[in-house]
């Protein structure tokens, strides 16, 4: 959805050059690593998002495998989003209250939410019940929704003006929803107590999702809603922190960053803890993997340029505010068929999952060089009718695919507090990150091309251990192997970690 160039941070520079070809094929790319006296420190957390959809409901073939995989990762800042295509799975009060009754109902929402909270217990997490009850908006007529909770409805999110311009009604809804999960229950509009017995910890709450394509608030409208909601939730839980914006196209909305990050535009005491935005590489319908190897990474370069621009705004107006890029992925044009919502297009080739995983690894590396706080891969489970090409879990078997395994590889080998080296290599075919701590030195390598690429390694990395995610490792345990050699050949779209011998 956005994509812009930004190659290197001040601490990590790569000198690009021309890759010379020999008659036998590509010459090895020489990789050099320099450890500066005052190295940049790794502060970027890799993670993922979990979007609510019927495949994650209890009893499906995917449920157990997906939540087991999520728990096994042990990731921080996992984002949980009950989202608009399934109103009954996302909205706790689907009908407006009357003088006689309310419609509060968590019976379909709780099971998935509790499974998520239990799978991420002990870790920071970001909850975002992004779908606002439609009745809170002024609309020409009542907004309906399917009786079947599994039926897709892309038309539920309508309206641009709240029926209560003070935002009290909106803030009341979210205060009750949060109280259900953190305070054991709440008292509804009629004074009736609803008891849950839940006392979960929610470290972060994100206010809305992709506001530039959902409800389209102006910067002033969004800031007013944010302040109203955050003010209420902060009173309920003073320890809770908040994430804002979640823009789908951040490069199109500099005025949103300029307005929102200016503390003068907020009520006194409203925290600006973190901002968020998204990126999906989107090839054209006629492109194949031979095009993806350029399209995906070119679009990501444009994302990174936008990120540098956004960071300059943030540092100028609110340097204490952190950043999460909490939806990073790719979407194939065959994903969404509005006329046939339960069908997908042609089968997704296995190489696609590696292309998309390598894209995430590349964005993670370059964002880490800029000091972005969190980079989240999208999303745990997608399936036909809900962006199948974005999934990290096979929607028929519940097994992790290459996108998931690449995230696991990064989580296992990149640690907060690692020192980051200055690196040099030629060409645009690969990306690399060198890290070290008191006990180990590691290289994270990404092949951005649909062909083998050979790398000449620094002497320090000629012996040690190697972990790989590529086509050859599909359906095989991802375990580190002993490594010895001065050159390393990366398979198409491979993501590899080389750990130097101690």
HEC sequence for 101-112? CCCECCCCCHHH
Beta bridge partners of 445: 432, 496
Least confident window among 8-22, 41-55, 244-258, 293-307: 8-22
Cα separation, 244 vs 222, whole angstroms: 9
> Beta strand 453-456 with 487-490: parallel, antiparallel or unpaired?
antiparallel
3-state secondary structure 246-277: EECCHHHCHHHHHHHCCHHHCCCCCCCCEEEE
> Pick from 335, 51, 324: which is nearest to 204 by CA?
324
347 contact partners, CB below 8 Å, separation of at least 6: none
Please tell me the predicted confidence (pLDDT) of residue 26: 60
pLDDT band at 478 (very low <50, low <70, confident <90, very high): confident
Least confident window among 175-184, 227-236, 276-285, 419-428: 419-428
158 contact partners, CB below 8 Å, separation of at least 6: 134, 137, 139, 143
Rounded mean pLDDT, 256-271: 98
pLDDT band at 24 (very low <50, low <70, confident <90, very high): very low
Cα separation, 53 vs 61, whole angstroms: 13
Beta bridge partners of 463: 484
Cα separation, 246 vs 323, whole angstroms: 10
Structure tokens at 232: 């209420």
Please tell me the predicted confidence (pLDDT) of residue 340: 61
Rounded mean pLDDT, 95-112: 97
User: How distant, in Å, are the alpha carbons of 346, 353, 392, 421 from that of 389?
Assistant: 11, 8, 9, 34
3-state secondary structure 344-359: CCCCCCHHHHHHHHHH
pLDDT band at 462 (very low <50, low <70, confident <90, very high): very high
pLDDT surpassing 70 at residue 10: no
Rounded mean pLDDT, 287-300: 97
Please tell me the predicted confidence (pLDDT) of residue 8: 34
CA end-to-end distance (rounded Å), the chain = 42
- Whole-prediction pTM value? 0.93
pLDDT surpassing 70 at residue 105: yes
Please tell me the predicted confidence (pLDDT) of residue 376: 98
Structure tokens at 461: 């990395």
166-167-168 Cα angle (round to 5): 90
Structural domain spans, the chain: 43-417
pLDDT band at 439 (very low <50, low <70, confident <90, very high): very high
pLDDT band at 345 (very low <50, low <70, confident <90, very high): low
Please tell me the predicted confidence (pLDDT) of residue 440: 95
Q: Provide the CATH number for the domain formed by 43-417 in this structure.
A: 3.20.20.80
How far out from the chain centre does Cα 219 lie? 23
Query: Hey, how many other C-beta atoms are within 10 angstroms of the C-beta on 413?
Result: 20
- What is the phi-psi region of residue 174: left when phi exceeds 0, alpha when psi lies from -120 to 50, beta otherwise? alpha
Cβ proximity of 362 and 349 under 8 Å: no
Cα separation, 14 vs 81, whole angstroms: 37
Please tell me the predicted confidence (pLDDT) of residue 269: 95
């Amino acid at each position: 959805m956005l994509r812009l160039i930004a190659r290197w941070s001040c601490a990590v520079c790569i000198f690009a050059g021309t890759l010379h070809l020999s008659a036998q094929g590509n010459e090895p790319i020489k990789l050099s690593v320099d450890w500066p006296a005052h190295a940049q420190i790794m502060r970027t957390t890799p993670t993922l998002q979990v979007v609510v959809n019927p495949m994650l409901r209890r009893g499906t073939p995917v449920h157990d495998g997906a939540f087991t995989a999520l728990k096994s990762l042990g990731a921080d800042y996992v984002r949980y989003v009950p989202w608009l295509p399934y109103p009954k799975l996302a909205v706790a009060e689907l009908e407006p209250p009357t003088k006689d009754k309310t419609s509060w109902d968590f019976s379909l929402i709780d099971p998935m939410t509790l499974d998520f909270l239990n799978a991420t217990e002990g870790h920071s997490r970001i909850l975002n019940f992004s779908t606002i009850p439609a009745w809170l908006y002024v609309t020409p007529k009542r907004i309906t929704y399917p009786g079947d909770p599994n039926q897709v409805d892309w038309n539920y999110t309508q309206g641009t003006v709240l029926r209560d311009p003070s935002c009290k009604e909106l803030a009341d809804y979210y205060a009750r929803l949060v109280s259900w999960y953190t305070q054991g229950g709440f008292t509804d509009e009629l004074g009736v107590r609803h008891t849950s017995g839940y006392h979960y910890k929610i470290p972060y709450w994100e206010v809305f999702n992709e506001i530039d394509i959902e409800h389209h608030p102006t910067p002033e409208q969004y800031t007013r809603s944010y302040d109203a909601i955050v003010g209420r939730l902060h009173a309920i839980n003073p320890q809770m922190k908040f994430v804002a914006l979640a823009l789908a196209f951040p490069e199109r909305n500099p005025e949103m960053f300029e307005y929102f990050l200016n503390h003068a535009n907020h009520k006194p005491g409203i925290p600006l803890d973190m901002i968020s935005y998204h990126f999906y590489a989107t090839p054209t319908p006629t492109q194949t993997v031979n095009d993806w190897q350029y399209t995906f990474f070119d679009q990501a370069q444009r994302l990174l340029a936008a990120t540098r621009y956004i960071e300059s705004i943030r540092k100028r107006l609110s340097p204490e505010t952190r950043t999460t890029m909490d939806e990073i992925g790719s979407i194939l044009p065959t994903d969404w068929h509005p006329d046939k919502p339960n069908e997908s297009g042609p089968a997704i080739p296995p190489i696609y999952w590696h292309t998309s995983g390598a894209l995430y690894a590349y964005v993670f590396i370059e964002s880490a060089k800029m000091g972005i706080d969190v980079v989240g891969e999208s999303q745990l489970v997608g399936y036909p009718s809900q962006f199948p090409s974005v999934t990290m879990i096979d929607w028929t078997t519940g097994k992790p695919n290459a996108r998931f395994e690449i995230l696991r590889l990064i989580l296992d080998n990149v640690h907060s507090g690692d020192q980051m080296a200055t690196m040099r290599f030629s060409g645009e075919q690969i990306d690399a990150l060198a890290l070290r701590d008191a006990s180990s030195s590691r290289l994270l390598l990404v092949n951005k091309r649909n062909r083998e690429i050979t790398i000449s390694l620094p002497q320090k990395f000629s012996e040690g251990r190697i972990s790989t995610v590529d086509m050859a490792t599909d359906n095989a345990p991802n375990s580190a192997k002993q490594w010895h050699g001065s050159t390393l050949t990366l398979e198409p779209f491979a993501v590899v970690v080389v750990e130097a011998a101690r």
